[in-house]
Structure 1
Amino acid sequence: MVDNIVWHQHEVNKARRAEAKKQKPAVLWLTGLSGSGKSTIANLLEKKLAEHNKHTYLLDGDNVRHGLCGDLGFSDKDRVENIRRIGEVAKLFVDAGTIVLTAFISPFKSERDYCRNLLDAGEFVEIFIDTPLAECEKRDPKGLYQKARQGDIKDFTGIDSPYEAPESPEITLRYAGQTAEESVEEIFELLKSKGFLA
Protein backbone atom coordinates (compact mmCIF):
# COMPACT_ATOMS: atom_id res chain seq x y z
CA MET A 1 0.00 0.00 0.00
CA VAL A 2 2.86 2.40 0.85
CA ASP A 3 4.22 1.85 -2.67
CA ASN A 4 1.27 3.82 -4.04
CA ILE A 5 1.80 6.83 -1.74
CA VAL A 6 4.00 9.72 -2.84
CA TRP A 7 5.20 12.49 -0.54
CA HIS A 8 3.87 15.84 -1.79
CA GLN A 9 6.30 18.74 -1.61
CA HIS A 10 4.64 22.03 -0.62
CA GLU A 11 5.91 25.46 -1.60
CA VAL A 12 5.81 26.79 1.96
CA ASN A 13 8.48 24.78 3.74
CA LYS A 14 9.85 24.37 7.27
CA ALA A 15 12.47 27.10 6.85
CA ARG A 16 9.89 29.63 5.76
CA ARG A 17 7.53 28.74 8.60
CA ALA A 18 10.34 29.00 11.14
CA GLU A 19 11.45 32.35 9.72
CA ALA A 20 7.92 33.70 10.09
CA LYS A 21 7.95 32.60 13.74
CA LYS A 22 11.48 33.97 14.36
CA GLN A 23 12.66 30.78 15.98
CA LYS A 24 14.44 27.52 15.28
CA PRO A 25 12.01 24.58 15.49
CA ALA A 26 12.86 21.72 17.81
CA VAL A 27 11.55 18.84 19.86
CA LEU A 28 12.32 19.23 23.55
CA TRP A 29 11.96 15.63 24.68
CA LEU A 30 11.59 15.35 28.47
CA THR A 31 12.09 11.80 29.70
CA GLY A 32 12.21 10.28 33.17
CA LEU A 33 10.32 8.09 35.59
CA SER A 34 6.70 8.68 36.54
CA GLY A 35 6.69 11.42 39.17
CA SER A 36 10.12 12.74 38.17
CA GLY A 37 8.73 16.18 37.34
CA LYS A 38 8.49 16.02 33.53
CA SER A 39 5.02 17.51 33.17
CA THR A 40 5.62 20.22 35.77
CA ILE A 41 8.88 21.32 34.14
CA ALA A 42 7.44 21.10 30.61
CA ASN A 43 4.45 23.23 31.63
CA LEU A 44 6.63 25.91 33.23
CA LEU A 45 9.05 25.85 30.30
CA GLU A 46 6.24 26.32 27.78
CA LYS A 47 4.93 29.23 29.85
CA LYS A 48 8.37 30.86 29.84
CA LEU A 49 8.74 30.36 26.09
CA ALA A 50 5.29 31.89 25.55
CA GLU A 51 6.35 34.91 27.61
CA HIS A 52 9.16 35.34 25.06
CA ASN A 53 6.64 35.11 22.18
CA LYS A 54 7.78 31.68 21.03
CA HIS A 55 5.39 29.38 19.18
CA THR A 56 5.10 26.11 21.10
CA TYR A 57 2.95 23.07 21.68
CA LEU A 58 3.13 20.70 24.65
CA LEU A 59 2.41 17.00 24.12
CA ASP A 60 1.83 15.37 27.51
CA GLY A 61 1.67 11.63 28.08
CA ASP A 62 -1.67 11.48 29.89
CA ASN A 63 -3.35 13.98 27.56
CA VAL A 64 -2.28 12.14 24.39
CA ARG A 65 -3.67 8.88 25.75
CA HIS A 66 -7.12 10.47 25.87
CA GLY A 67 -7.18 10.76 22.08
CA LEU A 68 -4.39 9.90 19.64
CA CYS A 69 -3.18 6.94 21.68
CA GLY A 70 -6.43 6.10 23.44
CA ASP A 71 -6.48 2.64 21.89
CA LEU A 72 -3.15 1.63 23.43
CA GLY A 73 -2.40 -0.14 26.69
CA PHE A 74 0.86 -0.26 28.65
CA SER A 75 2.53 -3.41 27.37
CA ASP A 76 6.03 -2.94 25.97
CA LYS A 77 4.59 -3.26 22.45
CA ASP A 78 1.96 -0.57 23.09
CA ARG A 79 4.52 1.73 24.68
CA VAL A 80 6.70 1.46 21.60
CA GLU A 81 3.71 2.34 19.37
CA ASN A 82 2.76 5.20 21.70
CA ILE A 83 6.18 6.80 21.33
CA ARG A 84 6.27 6.13 17.57
CA ARG A 85 3.03 8.08 17.14
CA ILE A 86 4.29 10.91 19.34
CA GLY A 87 7.51 11.08 17.33
CA GLU A 88 5.59 11.38 14.07
CA VAL A 89 3.30 14.09 15.47
CA ALA A 90 6.29 15.98 16.90
CA LYS A 91 7.94 15.83 13.47
CA LEU A 92 4.88 17.53 11.95
CA PHE A 93 5.04 20.30 14.56
CA VAL A 94 8.72 20.85 13.76
CA ASP A 95 7.86 21.04 10.06
CA ALA A 96 5.37 23.76 11.05
CA GLY A 97 8.25 25.74 12.55
CA THR A 98 7.13 25.10 16.12
CA ILE A 99 9.02 24.29 19.30
CA VAL A 100 7.28 21.18 20.59
CA LEU A 101 7.70 19.95 24.15
CA THR A 102 7.03 16.32 24.98
CA ALA A 103 6.64 14.92 28.50
CA PHE A 104 6.72 11.11 28.30
CA ILE A 105 8.38 8.43 30.38
CA SER A 106 9.54 6.95 27.04
CA PRO A 107 11.44 4.19 28.84
CA PHE A 108 13.22 2.59 25.89
CA LYS A 109 16.36 4.07 24.34
CA SER A 110 15.57 2.61 20.90
CA GLU A 111 12.26 4.49 20.73
CA ARG A 112 13.83 7.81 21.78
CA ASP A 113 16.53 7.24 19.16
CA TYR A 114 13.81 6.52 16.59
CA CYS A 115 12.22 9.90 17.34
CA ARG A 116 15.58 11.67 17.16
CA ASN A 117 16.27 10.12 13.77
CA LEU A 118 12.98 11.41 12.36
CA LEU A 119 14.37 14.95 12.60
CA ASP A 120 17.23 16.91 11.13
CA ALA A 121 20.46 17.06 13.10
CA GLY A 122 20.19 19.34 16.12
CA GLU A 123 16.39 19.46 16.20
CA PHE A 124 15.97 16.85 18.94
CA VAL A 125 16.88 18.02 22.44
CA GLU A 126 16.77 15.16 24.93
CA ILE A 127 16.18 16.37 28.49
CA PHE A 128 16.68 13.68 31.12
CA ILE A 129 14.87 14.38 34.38
CA ASP A 130 17.10 12.21 36.57
CA THR A 131 14.99 11.85 39.70
CA PRO A 132 15.74 8.71 41.75
CA LEU A 133 13.07 6.02 41.98
CA ALA A 134 12.84 6.46 45.77
CA GLU A 135 12.02 10.15 45.37
CA CYS A 136 9.45 9.44 42.63
CA GLU A 137 7.80 6.86 44.87
CA LYS A 138 7.75 9.31 47.76
CA ARG A 139 6.02 11.90 45.58
CA ASP A 140 3.69 9.40 43.85
CA PRO A 141 1.30 12.19 42.73
CA LYS A 142 -1.17 9.78 41.10
CA GLY A 143 -0.80 6.89 43.55
CA LEU A 144 0.56 4.71 40.75
CA TYR A 145 3.64 3.38 42.52
CA GLN A 146 1.54 2.21 45.44
CA LYS A 147 -0.78 0.38 43.04
CA ALA A 148 2.20 -1.12 41.21
CA ARG A 149 3.77 -2.32 44.47
CA GLN A 150 0.44 -3.93 45.40
CA GLY A 151 0.29 -5.68 42.04
CA ASP A 152 -2.73 -3.71 40.83
CA ILE A 153 -0.76 -2.24 37.90
CA LYS A 154 1.42 -4.53 35.80
CA ASP A 155 4.43 -3.53 33.66
CA PHE A 156 4.96 -0.30 35.57
CA THR A 157 8.18 1.47 34.65
CA GLY A 158 10.76 1.33 37.41
CA ILE A 159 8.96 -1.48 39.25
CA ASP A 160 8.45 -4.45 36.93
CA SER A 161 9.30 -2.83 33.60
CA PRO A 162 12.72 -1.31 32.88
CA TYR A 163 13.66 2.32 32.34
CA GLU A 164 16.68 2.78 30.08
CA ALA A 165 18.28 6.06 31.10
CA PRO A 166 19.64 8.26 28.30
CA GLU A 167 23.38 7.79 27.75
CA SER A 168 24.18 11.20 26.30
CA PRO A 169 21.23 13.58 26.55
CA GLU A 170 21.62 17.24 25.63
CA ILE A 171 20.89 18.09 29.25
CA THR A 172 20.47 16.15 32.51
CA LEU A 173 18.54 17.67 35.39
CA ARG A 174 19.52 15.84 38.57
CA TYR A 175 17.30 15.85 41.61
CA ALA A 176 19.26 17.60 44.35
CA GLY A 177 16.76 19.96 45.88
CA GLN A 178 16.63 22.04 42.69
CA THR A 179 13.25 23.68 42.08
CA ALA A 180 11.27 23.19 38.90
CA GLU A 181 11.78 26.90 38.16
CA GLU A 182 15.55 26.51 38.43
CA SER A 183 15.42 23.52 36.10
CA VAL A 184 13.46 25.57 33.58
CA GLU A 185 16.08 28.33 33.70
CA GLU A 186 18.78 25.76 33.00
CA ILE A 187 16.92 24.45 29.94
CA PHE A 188 16.12 27.98 28.75
CA GLU A 189 19.81 28.97 28.86
CA LEU A 190 20.72 25.85 26.88
CA LEU A 191 18.14 26.72 24.21
CA LYS A 192 19.49 30.27 23.98
CA SER A 193 23.07 29.02 23.65
CA LYS A 194 22.05 26.67 20.82
CA GLY A 195 20.23 29.40 18.89
CA PHE A 196 16.68 28.10 19.20
CA LEU A 197 15.33 31.39 20.52
CA ALA A 198 17.06 33.82 18.16
Structure 2
Amino acid sequence: MSVPELSENTPKDRWRAHVLAQRRLLDDAQRAVESSALCHVVAELAAEHPSVAAYVPVGREPGSIEMLDAMVRAGSTVLLPSAHEPGPLRWVVYTGRDSLVTAPFGLLEPSGPLLEPDAVAGCSLVLIPALAVDRRGVRLGRGAGFYDRTLDLCRPDAMLVAVVRDSEVMDRLPDEPHDRRVTHRLTPGGGLVRSGTE
Protein backbone atom coordinates (compact mmCIF):
# COMPACT_ATOMS: atom_id res chain seq x y z
CA MET A 1 0.00 0.00 0.00
CA SER A 2 1.23 3.51 -0.68
CA VAL A 3 0.06 6.55 1.25
CA PRO A 4 -0.33 9.91 -0.55
CA GLU A 5 2.42 12.39 0.31
CA LEU A 6 4.34 9.80 2.36
CA SER A 7 7.35 7.89 1.04
CA GLU A 8 10.51 6.20 2.26
CA ASN A 9 12.05 9.68 2.39
CA THR A 10 9.36 11.00 4.75
CA PRO A 11 10.52 11.33 8.38
CA LYS A 12 9.38 8.55 10.66
CA ASP A 13 7.53 10.98 12.92
CA ARG A 14 5.16 11.87 10.06
CA TRP A 15 4.56 8.20 9.35
CA ARG A 16 3.82 7.59 13.03
CA ALA A 17 1.37 10.49 13.18
CA HIS A 18 -0.43 9.21 10.08
CA VAL A 19 -0.82 5.63 11.36
CA LEU A 20 -1.90 6.72 14.84
CA ALA A 21 -4.51 9.05 13.33
CA GLN A 22 -5.88 6.17 11.25
CA ARG A 23 -5.99 3.90 14.28
CA ARG A 24 -8.10 6.42 16.18
CA LEU A 25 -10.79 6.01 13.52
CA LEU A 26 -11.23 2.28 14.15
CA ASP A 27 -14.46 1.15 15.77
CA ASP A 28 -14.78 -1.61 18.36
CA ALA A 29 -16.61 -3.97 15.99
CA GLN A 30 -13.79 -3.90 13.46
CA ARG A 31 -11.21 -4.39 16.17
CA ALA A 32 -13.10 -7.43 17.49
CA VAL A 33 -13.18 -9.05 14.03
CA GLU A 34 -9.46 -8.39 13.54
CA SER A 35 -8.59 -9.74 16.97
CA SER A 36 -10.51 -12.95 16.33
CA ALA A 37 -8.68 -13.50 13.03
CA LEU A 38 -5.28 -12.87 14.63
CA CYS A 39 -6.12 -15.14 17.56
CA HIS A 40 -6.84 -18.07 15.22
CA VAL A 41 -3.55 -17.72 13.31
CA VAL A 42 -1.46 -17.15 16.41
CA ALA A 43 -2.88 -20.27 18.09
CA GLU A 44 -1.82 -22.35 15.09
CA LEU A 45 1.64 -20.77 15.10
CA ALA A 46 2.11 -21.28 18.82
CA ALA A 47 1.45 -25.02 18.48
CA GLU A 48 4.76 -25.21 16.57
CA HIS A 49 6.75 -23.04 19.01
CA PRO A 50 7.19 -24.12 22.64
CA SER A 51 8.44 -20.67 23.69
CA VAL A 52 7.03 -17.43 22.31
CA ALA A 53 7.80 -13.78 23.03
CA ALA A 54 4.72 -11.61 22.58
CA TYR A 55 3.21 -8.36 23.87
CA VAL A 56 0.02 -7.07 25.48
CA PRO A 57 -1.80 -4.88 22.96
CA VAL A 58 -2.63 -1.43 24.28
CA GLY A 59 -4.85 1.31 22.90
CA ARG A 60 -5.64 0.58 19.26
CA GLU A 61 -2.85 -1.92 18.65
CA PRO A 62 -3.97 -5.04 16.78
CA GLY A 63 -4.38 -8.15 18.86
CA SER A 64 -5.91 -8.97 22.23
CA ILE A 65 -5.30 -10.68 25.54
CA GLU A 66 -7.30 -13.58 24.08
CA MET A 67 -4.43 -13.98 21.63
CA LEU A 68 -2.06 -14.57 24.56
CA ASP A 69 -4.46 -17.03 26.17
CA ALA A 70 -4.74 -18.95 22.88
CA MET A 71 -0.98 -19.41 22.76
CA VAL A 72 -0.90 -20.69 26.33
CA ARG A 73 -3.71 -23.15 25.54
CA ALA A 74 -1.67 -24.31 22.54
CA GLY A 75 1.07 -25.32 24.96
CA SER A 76 3.51 -22.42 24.57
CA THR A 77 5.37 -20.62 27.31
CA VAL A 78 4.64 -16.96 26.58
CA LEU A 79 7.08 -14.24 27.60
CA LEU A 80 5.87 -10.64 27.76
CA PRO A 81 8.10 -7.56 27.82
CA SER A 82 8.91 -5.38 30.78
CA ALA A 83 10.03 -1.89 29.71
CA HIS A 84 11.16 0.09 32.74
CA GLU A 85 14.43 1.68 31.66
CA PRO A 86 16.17 2.38 28.34
CA GLY A 87 17.86 -0.65 26.83
CA PRO A 88 16.83 -4.14 25.82
CA LEU A 89 13.53 -5.42 27.14
CA ARG A 90 13.38 -7.69 30.15
CA TRP A 91 10.74 -10.44 30.19
CA VAL A 92 8.10 -12.00 32.44
CA VAL A 93 6.26 -15.30 31.93
CA TYR A 94 2.55 -14.78 31.21
CA THR A 95 0.38 -16.90 33.50
CA GLY A 96 -3.03 -15.45 32.67
CA ARG A 97 -4.85 -12.14 32.50
CA ASP A 98 -5.22 -11.99 36.29
CA SER A 99 -1.44 -11.62 36.55
CA LEU A 100 -1.35 -8.42 34.46
CA VAL A 101 -0.58 -5.18 36.27
CA THR A 102 -0.12 -1.59 35.14
CA ALA A 103 3.41 -0.78 34.06
CA PRO A 104 5.24 2.33 32.76
CA PHE A 105 4.37 3.83 29.35
CA GLY A 106 0.71 2.82 29.73
CA LEU A 107 1.55 -0.87 29.27
CA LEU A 108 0.44 -4.02 31.05
CA GLU A 109 2.84 -6.73 32.13
CA PRO A 110 2.72 -9.85 34.31
CA SER A 111 3.56 -9.44 37.98
CA GLY A 112 5.97 -12.42 38.10
CA PRO A 113 9.75 -12.52 38.41
CA LEU A 114 11.76 -10.52 35.87
CA LEU A 115 13.92 -12.44 33.41
CA GLU A 116 17.05 -10.98 31.83
CA PRO A 117 16.93 -9.59 28.26
CA ASP A 118 18.65 -12.67 26.82
CA ALA A 119 15.64 -14.82 27.84
CA VAL A 120 14.23 -13.92 24.40
CA ALA A 121 16.98 -16.09 22.88
CA GLY A 122 14.96 -19.13 23.98
CA CYS A 123 11.99 -18.11 21.83
CA SER A 124 11.65 -19.39 18.27
CA LEU A 125 8.68 -17.06 17.62
CA VAL A 126 8.72 -13.36 18.50
CA LEU A 127 5.54 -11.32 17.97
CA ILE A 128 6.40 -7.64 17.73
CA PRO A 129 4.08 -4.64 17.97
CA ALA A 130 4.44 -2.19 15.09
CA LEU A 131 2.73 0.84 13.64
CA ALA A 132 3.50 -0.32 10.11
CA VAL A 133 5.75 -2.68 8.18
CA ASP A 134 6.85 -2.73 4.57
CA ARG A 135 7.18 -5.62 2.17
CA ARG A 136 10.93 -5.83 2.79
CA GLY A 137 10.43 -6.32 6.52
CA VAL A 138 11.25 -2.77 7.61
CA ARG A 139 9.22 -2.10 10.77
CA LEU A 140 8.01 1.24 12.06
CA GLY A 141 7.87 1.28 15.85
CA ARG A 142 6.90 4.02 18.25
CA GLY A 143 10.44 5.40 18.43
CA ALA A 144 11.53 4.41 21.94
CA GLY A 145 14.05 1.88 20.58
CA PHE A 146 13.26 -0.97 22.98
CA TYR A 147 12.81 -3.53 20.21
CA ASP A 148 15.76 -2.24 18.18
CA ARG A 149 17.93 -3.03 21.22
CA THR A 150 16.21 -6.36 21.86
CA LEU A 151 15.99 -8.07 18.47
CA ASP A 152 19.75 -8.54 18.24
CA LEU A 153 19.43 -10.90 21.22
CA CYS A 154 17.03 -13.20 19.37
CA ARG A 155 18.26 -16.48 18.01
CA PRO A 156 19.32 -16.32 14.34
CA ASP A 157 16.55 -18.64 13.16
CA ALA A 158 13.74 -17.02 15.16
CA MET A 159 10.61 -15.91 13.34
CA LEU A 160 10.40 -12.16 13.95
CA VAL A 161 6.77 -11.27 13.21
CA ALA A 162 5.43 -7.71 13.07
CA VAL A 163 1.70 -7.67 13.88
CA VAL A 164 -0.16 -4.93 11.98
CA ARG A 165 -3.44 -4.28 10.21
CA ASP A 166 -3.72 -4.94 6.49
CA SER A 167 -3.87 -1.18 5.86
CA GLU A 168 -0.55 -0.78 7.72
CA VAL A 169 1.46 -2.82 5.22
CA MET A 170 3.36 -0.29 3.11
CA ASP A 171 5.43 -0.53 -0.05
CA ARG A 172 8.50 1.14 1.46
CA LEU A 173 9.14 2.73 4.84
CA PRO A 174 12.12 4.82 5.97
CA ASP A 175 15.02 2.52 6.79
CA GLU A 176 17.99 3.30 9.06
CA PRO A 177 21.18 1.29 9.61
CA HIS A 178 20.22 0.30 13.18
CA ASP A 179 16.78 -0.99 12.16
CA ARG A 180 16.43 -4.76 12.46
CA ARG A 181 14.11 -6.13 9.80
CA VAL A 182 11.41 -8.63 10.66
CA THR A 183 11.23 -11.97 8.90
CA HIS A 184 7.42 -11.99 8.63
CA ARG A 185 4.32 -9.87 9.06
CA LEU A 186 0.96 -10.97 10.42
CA THR A 187 -2.27 -9.20 9.48
CA PRO A 188 -5.92 -10.08 10.16
CA GLY A 189 -6.78 -10.40 6.47
CA GLY A 190 -3.54 -11.57 4.93
CA GLY A 191 -2.33 -13.92 7.63
CA LEU A 192 1.37 -14.71 7.92
CA VAL A 193 3.59 -13.50 5.08
CA ARG A 194 7.36 -13.85 4.81
CA SER A 195 9.19 -10.59 4.17
CA GLY A 196 10.55 -10.03 0.70
CA THR A 197 8.42 -12.65 -1.04
CA GLU A 198 6.15 -10.29 -2.99
TM-score normalised by structure 1 residue count: 0.34
Larger strand percent: 2
Which one has the largest radius of gyration? 1
| Higher normalized contact order (CA 8 Å, seq sep 6+, divided by chain length) | 1
Structure that is richer in helix per residue: 1
